[in-house]
Chain A
Amino acid sequence: MDNDEKKSKTPLLDELEKGPWPSFVTEIKKTNNETCQDLLGQLELSYEERKGHWKHGGLVGVMGYGGGVIGRYSDVPEKFPKVAHFHTLRVNHPSGWFYTSQALRTLCDIWERHGSGLTNMHGSTGDIVFLGTKTDELEPTFKELTEAGFDLGGSGSCVRTPSCCVGEARCEWACYDTMKLCNDLTQAYQDELHRPPFPYKFKFKCAGCPNDCVASIARADLSVIGTWKDQIQQDDAAVTEYAAAGLDIQKDVCERCPTRCMAWDGKKLTIDNGECVRCMHCINVMPKALRPGKEKGATILIGSKAPIVQGALLSSVLVPFVPAAELLDTLKELVSRVWEFWDEYGKNRERVGELIQRVGMANFLDAIGLDPDPAMISAPRDNPYIFFQKKEGE
Chain B
Amino acid sequence: MTAPAKRITDIGPPHYEKFLPPIIKRNYGQWKYHESLAPGVLCHVSETGDKLYSVRAASPRLLSIKTIRYFADLADKYCDGYLRFTSRNNVEFLLDDPGKIELLKQELRDAGYPVGGTNNAISNIVHTQGWVHCHSSATDASGIVKSVMDALCDHFTQQNLPAKLRIAVACCLNMCGAVHCSDIAILGIHRKPPKIKHDVLPKVCEVPTLIASCPTGAIRPKTVDGKQSVEVVEEQCMYCGNCYTVCPAMPLNDPENDGISIWVGGKVSNARTAPKFTKLAIPFLPNNPPRWPEVVDAVVNIVNVYSQGAKKFERVGEWIERIGWPRFFQLTGIEFTRYHIDDFKNAGQTYARSTHIRF
Given contacts A194-B9, A217-B275, A314-B277, contact A131 B62 (CB under 8 A): yes
Residues of B in contact (CB 8 Å), total 116
Q: Contact string, A287-310, partner B, CB cutoff 8 A, digits 1/0?
A: 110010000000000000011111
**B19, A94: Cβ atoms closer than 8 Å:** yes
Q: Does A264 contact B (CB under 8 A)?
A: no
| Nearest-CB residue, chain B, relative to A21 | B149
Report the minimum CB–CB distance from A96 to chain B (whole Å). 6
**B273, A258: Cβ atoms closer than 8 Å:** yes
Q: How far is the CA of A213 from the CA of B44 in the complex (A)?
A: 17
Contact among B31, B143, B153, B173 for A47, CB-based, below 8 A: B143
Q: Does A103 contact B (CB under 8 A)?
A: yes
Given contacts A30-B67, A308-B174, contact A99 B83 (CB under 8 A): yes
**A218, B275: Cβ atoms closer than 8 Å:** yes
Q: Does B118 contact A (CB under 8 A)?
A: no
Q: How far is the CA of A179 from the CA of B215 in the complex (A)?
A: 37
Contact among B33, B59, B64 for A28, CB-based, below 8 A: B64
Q: Does B3 contact A (CB under 8 A)?
A: no
| Nearest-CB residue, chain A, relative to B139 | A50
Q: Which of B202-236 contact A (CB under 8 A)?
A: 209, 212-215
Contact among B32, B212, B290 for A349, CB-based, below 8 A: B212
**B248, A56: Cβ atoms closer than 8 Å:** yes
Given contacts A20-B153, A97-B84, contact A108 B12 (CB under 8 A): no
Q: Contact string, B164-196, partner A, CB cutoff 8 A, digits 1/0?
A: 000000000111111111000000000000000
| Nearest-CB residue, chain B, relative to A180 | B16
Q: Does A389 contact B (CB under 8 A)?
A: no
Q: How far is the CA of A310 from the CA of B156 in the complex (A)?
A: 36
Q: How far is the CA of A307 from the CA of B175 in the complex (A)?
A: 7
Q: Does A2 contact B (CB under 8 A)?
A: no
* Chain B residues with CB below 8 A from A329, complex form: none
Q: Contact string, B273-309, partner A, CB cutoff 8 A, digits 1/0?
A: 1110100000000010111000000000000000000
Report the minimum CB–CB distance from B123 to chain A (whole Å). 11
Residue among B34, B35, B145, B345 with the highest chain A CB neighbour number at 10 A:
B34
Report the minimum CB–CB distance from B57 to chain A (whole Å). 9
**A213, B64: Cβ atoms closer than 8 Å:** no
**A105, B258: Cβ atoms closer than 8 Å:** no
Contact among A119, A132, A163, A166 for B84, CB-based, below 8 A: A166
Contact among A16, A54, A132, A187 for B134, CB-based, below 8 A: A54
Q: Does B49 contact A (CB under 8 A)?
A: no
Q: How far is the CA of A39 from the CA of B131 in the complex (A)?
A: 10
Q: Does B61 contact A (CB under 8 A)?
A: yes
| Nearest-CB residue, chain B, relative to A213 | B87
**B81, A47: Cβ atoms closer than 8 Å:** no
Given contacts A24-B146, A55-B135, A104-B72, contact A30 B31 (CB under 8 A): no
Q: Does B66 contact A (CB under 8 A)?
A: yes
**A252, B312: Cβ atoms closer than 8 Å:** yes
| Nearest-CB residue, chain A, relative to B77 | A101
Residue among A93, A101, A111 with the highest chain B CB neighbour number at 10 A:
A101
Q: How far is the CA of A131 from the CA of B29 in the complex (A)?
A: 35
**B135, A43: Cβ atoms closer than 8 Å:** no
**B142, A24: Cβ atoms closer than 8 Å:** yes
* Chain B residues with CB below 8 A from A347, complex form: 212
**A183, B290: Cβ atoms closer than 8 Å:** no
Report the minimum CB–CB distance from A168 to chain B (whole Å). 4
**B84, A151: Cβ atoms closer than 8 Å:** no
Given contacts A22-B58, A172-B44, A218-B275, contact A100 B131 (CB under 8 A): no
* Chain B residues with CB below 8 A from A256, complex form: 272, 313
Q: Which of B1-17 contact A (CB under 8 A)?
A: 7-16
Q: How far is the CA of A112 from the CA of B178 in the complex (A)?
A: 31
Q: How far is the CA of A76 from the CA of B290 in the complex (A)?
A: 21
* Chain B residues with CB below 8 A from A157, complex form: none
* Chain B residues with CB below 8 A from A120, complex form: 61-63, 89
Q: How far is the CA of A306 from the CA of B8 in the complex (A)?
A: 34
Report the minimum CB–CB distance from A229 to chain B (whole Å). 16
**B60, A21: Cβ atoms closer than 8 Å:** yes
Q: Does A52 contact B (CB under 8 A)?
A: yes
**A215, B44: Cβ atoms closer than 8 Å:** no
Report the minimum CB–CB distance from B42 to chain A (whole Å). 9
Residue among B18, B254, B269 with the highest chain A CB neighbour number at 10 A:
B269
Q: Does B339 contact A (CB under 8 A)?
A: no
Q: How far is the CA of A65 from the CA of B11 in the complex (A)?
A: 12
Q: How far is the CA of A53 from the CA of B251 in the complex (A)?
A: 12
**B20, A64: Cβ atoms closer than 8 Å:** no
**A306, B81: Cβ atoms closer than 8 Å:** no
**A100, B18: Cβ atoms closer than 8 Å:** yes
**B12, A92: Cβ atoms closer than 8 Å:** yes
Given contacts A56-B248, A312-B180, contact A94 B15 (CB under 8 A): yes
**B19, A98: Cβ atoms closer than 8 Å:** yes
Q: How far is the CA of A194 from the CA of B12 in the complex (A)?
A: 10
Which residues of A are interface residues toward B (Cβ below 8 A)? 12-13, 15-16, 18-28, 30-31, 39, 43, 46-47, 49-57, 63-65, 70, 72, 86, 88, 92-105, 107-108, 111-112, 117-122, 124, 131-132, 143, 146-147, 149-151, 163, 165-166, 168-172, 174, 177, 179, 183, 186-187, 190-191, 194, 210-219, 252, 256-258, 277-281, 284-285, 287-288, 291, 306-312, 314, 347-349, 378
Known: A27-B62, A168-B28, A281-B272. 8 other contacts (CB 8 A): A22-B114, A94-B18, A100-B82, A105-B72, A190-B11, A191-B10, A258-B273, A348-B209
Query: Lowest 5 A-B CB distances belong to which pairs?
Result: A19-B150, A56-B248, A101-B72, A146-B8, A210-B270
Chain A to chain B contacts (Cβ below 8 Å), 7 pairs = A21-B149, A22-B59, A31-B64, A46-B140, A52-B137, A118-B64, A287-B34
Which residues of B are interface residues toward A (Cβ below 8 A)? 7-16, 18-20, 24, 28-29, 31-35, 44, 52, 54, 58-69, 71-73, 75-76, 81-87, 89, 91, 94, 112-114, 126, 128, 130-137, 140, 142-143, 145-147, 149-150, 153, 156, 173-181, 209, 212-215, 240, 242, 244-246, 248, 251, 253-255, 258, 268-275, 277, 287, 289-291, 312-313, 344-345
